[in-house]
């Protein structure tokens, strides 16, 4: 009898599970969909309150935020219970060892539970003894929590909605276009500008910020308010690192990096040469290095400027982000040409090093950090005579890519400093009284053409030789997978080495006992050829619609746009509308890269497993 009752009980439980399981799944999906929709509404309300001259209290009184708050609470609870139940049912002993739930998920869930208890319970009497409760019960805290939840939710939705059928090139192009459109709309908000701007000026500024160029048709310092400067700062940050980097990082972190179905596609977007298992670590390192270097740079700039106020701190952060992302935007009315800043050598050197670190490339920074760790451990092992087998041999830590990029960066910076010191000694450097001042300005002159765009001098006073050198520097640019533009240092180095080897009768390039792949050599020449075509077309268009413009000025403007530099010989604002559109298009192509643009229209045919007989064609 007892066994029949137990069997009947188990049968009822099993039938209930079969009936309720689809209902629970549908409920979770419905709540998740509702949260995705309300997240869009939350962001829209915040943008409305940010950009229009209305009281923010009118926004926070809306029940949307409270509804969204508890709706997220329901979704977190369902997912948390489902996660624990699935893992404890499969293998209770290994629940804490495999497939842990996202730490960010647990943190937000704990915060929501805590705030819910504080808001529901009558704890007003505790506020008399502990002022923290008055802060925790404030509506603004709920706004901040809901805004974070909305951004994370949208990141997770975008990350999971990526389809392997869509080319990574199209995803990259689409993400930048979407960011430019969104930035244009934000810059058109009434609170973003002092007296309003035209649609085209907003579009041009947003494109320049997202493409981290720095060319503008208006004066950024006087046209935009602090709200507008914050919007430009966000566009620079997202454009410099890439919107998909931020989206993928927060999407994987929030949804759980173990359950993503699109990590292969994300790997192709972020770092094609890395393994799928390391993609989250790569994203995390990119975010941490970026924020750490920018914060450190902001501290130096803050000290150099000497404006120890809250606005001074914002100006320091803005210029640090702009320098690291190689954008060249400035919130100062006369830029760095102001007398208080053009001879501030601590400021110039801080910006120069931020530009160098931002243009060196994230893989190279990771590789250098790995090399430093290995060398430190080897030194520790040698000093204390510890037997560690992993360090018994001299590991090849630095890659050929790192060595080429570092050597080219040193050659360009040191060589440029010497060249500009000689060519501008009696021109731009004339105002620098000391030798150290002239050297610091020369170092700054050698750094900014490599896609940065800052100017502590009058560009119109440069000598003709310096203008030509700057065009070459702008065209070369920074290193691959960095915030810099140009054809990249490794591309130029590989092409130069290939020319030398061809003249010597060799059919391959060898660097540090390694042979450079033919695919890398072919890509280098494709990049060089396509960049010259884009620049030539841009110069032709400018020459047609700006007949009075000297050819040298046209070349300088187009190369500056293509390499996302932002330097100008004081003529961007005076160009015709067609010429400005041309500069805008060239900026977009230069930021994404010619290969990325071409990949959108030329399909990959795969590996070819046959080869026809070879025939030589006379070249010269």
- Neighbour-count burial of 78, counting CB atoms closer than 10 A to its CB (0-12 exposed, 13-18 middle, 19+ buried): middle
The token duo for 145 is: 């929590």
Q: What is the spatial distance between Cα 573 and Cα 392, in angstroms, rounded to a whole number?
A: 62
Confidence band of 95 (pLDDT split at 50, 70, 90): very low
Confidence band of 415 (pLDDT split at 50, 70, 90): very high
Q: What is the spatial distance between Cα 537 and Cα 589, in angstroms, rounded to a whole number?
A: 13
- 3-state DSSP assignment of residue 515: strand
Q: Are 476 and 489 in contact (CB under 8 A)?
A: yes
Residue 313 clears pLDDT 70, i.e. is over it:
yes
Can you list the alpha helix ranges (DSSP code H) found in 211-361? Answer: 220-223, 226-241, 243-255, 263-270, 279-305, 310-324, 339-342, 345-360
Q: Are 278 and 363 in contact (CB under 8 A)?
A: no
Q: Please give the C-alpha separations between residue 129 and each of 179, 311, 616, in angstroms, as whole numbers.
A: 47, 34, 90
For the chain, give every domain's residue range.
24-161
Half-sphere exposure of 387 (CA within 13 A, CB side): 0
Residue 468 clears pLDDT 80, i.e. is over it:
yes
Q: What is the spatial distance between Cα 484 and Cα 178, in angstroms, rounded to a whole number?
A: 21
pLDDT at 540: 93
pLDDT at 163: 58
Most confidently predicted of 89-93, 127-131, 248-252, 328-332: 328-332
The token duo for 380 is: 């520790």
Q: Return the C-alpha torsion angle 516, 517, 518, 519, nearest 10.
A: -130
What is this structure's pTM? 0.81
The token duo for 230 is: 């914050």
Per the model's pLDDT, the better-predicted residue between 290 and 248 turns out to be 290
Mean pLDDT of 257-283: 57
Percent of the chain with pLDDT over 70: 73
Residues 6+ apart with CB under 8 A from 434: none
Percent of the chain with pLDDT over 90: 14
- Over the stretch 316-329, which tens digit does the pLDDT of each residue have? 999 999 999 888 88
């Amino acid at each position: 009898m007892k066994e029949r009752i137990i069997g009947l009980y188990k049968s009822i439980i099993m039938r209930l599970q079969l009936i309720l399981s689809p209902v629970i799944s549908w409920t979770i999906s419905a709540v998740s969909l509702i949260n995705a929709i309300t997240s869009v509404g939350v962001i829209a309300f915040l943008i409305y309150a940010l950009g229009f001259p209305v009281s923010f209290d009118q926004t926070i009184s809306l029940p949307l935020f409270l509804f969204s708050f508890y709706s997220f609470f329901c979704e977190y609870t369902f997912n948390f219970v489902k996660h624990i139940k699935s893992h404890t049912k499969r293998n209770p002993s290994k629940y804490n060892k495999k497939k842990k739930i996202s730490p960010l998920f647990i943190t937000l869930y704990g915060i929501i539970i805590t705030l819910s208890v504080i808001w529901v319970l009558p704890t007003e009497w505790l506020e008399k003894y502990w002022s923290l409760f008055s802060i925790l019960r404030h509506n603004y805290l709920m706004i901040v929590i809901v805004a974070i939840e909305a951004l994370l939710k949208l990141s997770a939705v975008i990350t999971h909605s990526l389809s392997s059928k869509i080319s990574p090139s199209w995803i990259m192009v689409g993400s930048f276009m979407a960011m430019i459109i969104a930035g244009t709309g934000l810059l058109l908000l009434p609170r973003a500008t002092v007296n309003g701007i035209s649609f085209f000026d907003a579009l041009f500024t947003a494109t320049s910020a997202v493409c981290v160029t720095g060319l503008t048709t208006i004066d950024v310092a006087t046209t935009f308010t602090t709200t507008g400067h914050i919007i430009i700062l966000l566009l620079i940050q997202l454009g410099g690192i890439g919107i998909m980097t931020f989206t993928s990082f927060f999407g994987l972190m929030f949804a759980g990096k173990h359950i993503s179905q699109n990590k292969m596609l994300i790997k192709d977007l972020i770092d094609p040469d890395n393994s799928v298992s390391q993609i989250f670590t790569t994203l995390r390192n990119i975010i941490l290095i970026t924020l750490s270097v920018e914060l450190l740079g902001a501290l130096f700039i803050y000290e150099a400027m000497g404006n120890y106020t809250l606005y001074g701190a914002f100006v320091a952060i803005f210029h640090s982000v702009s320098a690291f992302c190689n954008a060249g935007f400035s919130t100062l009315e006369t830029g760095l040409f102001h007398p208080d800043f053009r001879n501030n050598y601590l400021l110039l050197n801080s910006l120069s090093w931020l530009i160098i670190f931002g243009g060196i490339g994230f893989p190279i920074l990771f590789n250098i950090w790995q090399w430093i760790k290995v060398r430190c451990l080897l030194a520790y092992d040698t000093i204390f005579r510890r037997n560690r087998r992993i360090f018994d041999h001299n590991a090849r830590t630095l890659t050929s890519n790192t060595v080429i990029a570092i050597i080219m960066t040193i050659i360009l910076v040191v060589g440029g400093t010497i060249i500009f010191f000689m060519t501008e000694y009696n021109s731009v450097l004339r105002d620098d009284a000391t030798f150290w001042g002239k050297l610091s300005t020369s170092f700054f002159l050698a750094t900014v053409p490599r896609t940065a765009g800052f100017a502590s001098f009058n560009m119109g006073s440069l000598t003709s030789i310096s203008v030509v050198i700057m065009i070459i520097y702008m065209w070369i640019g920074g290193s691959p997978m960095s915030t810099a533009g140009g054809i990249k240092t490794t591309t130029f180095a590989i092409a130069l080495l290939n020319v030398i080897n061809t003249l010597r009768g060799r059919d391959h390039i060898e660097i540090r006992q390694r042979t450079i792949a033919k695919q890398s050599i072919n890509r280098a020449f494709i990049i060089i050829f396509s960049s010259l075509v884009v620049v030539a077309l841009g110069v032709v268009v400018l020459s047609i619609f700006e007949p009075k413009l000297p050819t040298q000025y046209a070349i300088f403007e187009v190369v500056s746009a293509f390499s996302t530099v932002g330097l100008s010989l004081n003529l961007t604002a005076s160009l015709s509308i067609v010429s400005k559109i041309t500069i805008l298009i060239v900026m977009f192509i230069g930021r994404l890269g010619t290969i990325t643009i071409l990949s959108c229209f030329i399909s990959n045919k795969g590996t070819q497993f046959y080869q026809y007989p070879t025939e030589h064609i006379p070249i010269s």
